[in-house]
Amino acid sequence: MKFFAPYRVRVEKDIITRVVRILKGRGSLYVKANQEVTPEEIIGIGEITSGFRTINLSTELSVSPNEVGQYLTRNLGQRIYKGELLAFKKGGLFKGKQVVIAPTDGILDFLNIKTGELKISLLPKKVDLLAGVYGIVEDIDAERGHAVIRTQVSQVRGILGFGKPCDGMMHILDRRDVLIPKSVIQPKYGGHILVGGSLFFKETISSAISAGVSGIITGGINAQDYKEMASGRLVFPKKLDNDIGIGILICEGFGSVPIADDIFKMLSAYEGRFVFLDGNKALINLPSFSSSSLIKVKNTQLPKLPDILTTEAGSSGISELEVGLKVRIIGNSYFGEQGKLLAIDNSPTLLPSKIKTYLATVETSRRKIQVPVANLEIIR
């Protein structure tokens, strides 16, 4: 009798693929098609709006809101820098002078004479776009600020995720089997992609967003937390994108589940290195850090360029179960364990639940176990 099971590619080493580098905000790209690039090369500069700051000058100067304008040292629309004099009121007989110093660089944008509040728009910030890879530029979209680069990477695919593409230096927070509390998140992790443990608590994720963390990679997540962040869905439509201000990739599933050895070993090799994460595609790209990879990149031609911002590579399907294959257990018992399929029974077994099913014998790194065939997936 033949048995079939879902298969899923979890880890692929040293493949040639395409990555998209996207400017933050409006800006310019400095590369051309067919140009070679290196990881540290700046291929463009974008400009992002930094927001605004509001100061209640009526309170600061102890005057009525409609009088605030006469004490400003700059006109609306003018630029001011942090530490410069923003407003000044001379002292009187019973009061000393009142001085207000600009708390930040910005432009005096709007004065509300009903409330006495001054809005300072922060100066736009220029952000360099690094290539991040050894590769060859295949296509440029100057209008959207996209550069498509052919390169060599190793890929890790998770079970699920959400969040638009992000990048950053990878940092391993802790062992693959620990819970990650809010207290672990620090301001120094801003712009990083954090790898940690069997579960990130909801408040830990919120703290990471506040700290400016780019992305999170973890073994599991609480189903309710995922549902709240994924627009109220447990199964997120692949054609839709979600953006909560951070990229999140779940490697194993719902609940507290350690990141499996195959993925954790791969990620650990990239500690302190620049990586790419696409939560909506549940995909991590780990760029080659060897310049010699350019030789393989040059000699490899990929199929006609698709719209890789929306197209997903086929990484799953159905395949025949055969002895010797590497499998992962997806049922309630022994969930997440991996091993080699040793045998499949020739006849069904009556389980305590009164269900008859065929059992498979799987050899893991620690033991041999028997599980229903339906509780297996083939991993590649």
Cα dist from 100 to 56, 59, 87, 105, 198, whole Å: 10, 11, 5, 14, 50
Quickly count: other Cβ atoms within 10 Å of residue 165's Cβ. Answer: 22
Residue 164 pLDDT > 90, yes or no? no
CATH of 159-281, one of 3.50.30, 3.40.30, 1.10.8, 3.50.70: 3.50.30
The CATH 3.50.30 domain(s) of the chain lie at 159-281
pLDDT attached to residue 118: 94
- Calculate the dihedral angle through the C-alpha atoms of 189, 194, 198, 203, rounding to the nearest 10 degrees: 40
Structure tokens at 134: 């050894």
| Residue 235 · residue 228 · CB < 8 Å | no
Residue 57 pLDDT greater than 90, yes or no: yes
Assign a CATH topology to domain 321-379: SH3 type barrels. (2.30.30)
DSSP string, 269-302: TTTTSEEEEEGGGTEEEEE---TTHHHHHHT--P
* Ramachandran area for residue 132 (φ above 0: left; ψ -120 to 50: alpha; else beta): left
Of the pLDDT bands very low, low, confident and very high (cuts 50, 70, 90), residue 239 is very low
* pLDDT range class, residue 70, cuts 50, 70, 90: very high
Cβ neighbour number for residue 54 with a 10 Å cutoff: 13
Of the candidates 183, 195, 192, the one whose C-alpha atom is nearest the C-alpha of residue 212 is: 192
**Residue limits of CATH 2.40.50 in the chain:** 52-122
R_g (Cα) of the chain, nearest Å: 27
For 73-109, how does the pLDDT look when each residue is reduced to its tens digit (9 = 90+)? 999 999 999 999 999 998 766 667 889 999 989 999 9
Quick one: which of 272, 300, 28 has its CA closest to 150? 300
Task: Dig out the tokens for 20 from the structure.
Answer: 């998209």
257 to each of 59, 185, 283, how far by Cα in Å?
53, 20, 18
User: Which residue ranges does the chain devote to CATH 2.30.30.30?
Assistant: 321-379
One-letter identity of residue 353: S
Which residue would you say has higher pLDDT here, 204 or 355? 204
Averaged over 252-273, what is the pLDDT?
92
| 179's tokens | 């819970």
Specify the CATH number of the domain 52-122: 2.40.50
Q: What is the mean pLDDT of residues 35-59?
A: 91
- 112 Cβ contact list (under 8 Å, min separation 6): 65, 118, 119
The tens digit of pLDDT for each residue in 176-215 reads 889 999 999 999 999 999 998 899 998 999 999 989 999 9
- Mean of per-residue pLDDT scores for the chain: 88
The token pair that represents 83 in the structure block = 């530490």
Is pLDDT at 259 greater than 90 in this prediction? yes
* pTM reported for the whole predicted model: 0.73
Picking from 125, 83, 77, the residue whose alpha carbon sits closest to that of residue 101 is 83
Residues 6+ apart with CB under 8 A from 94: none
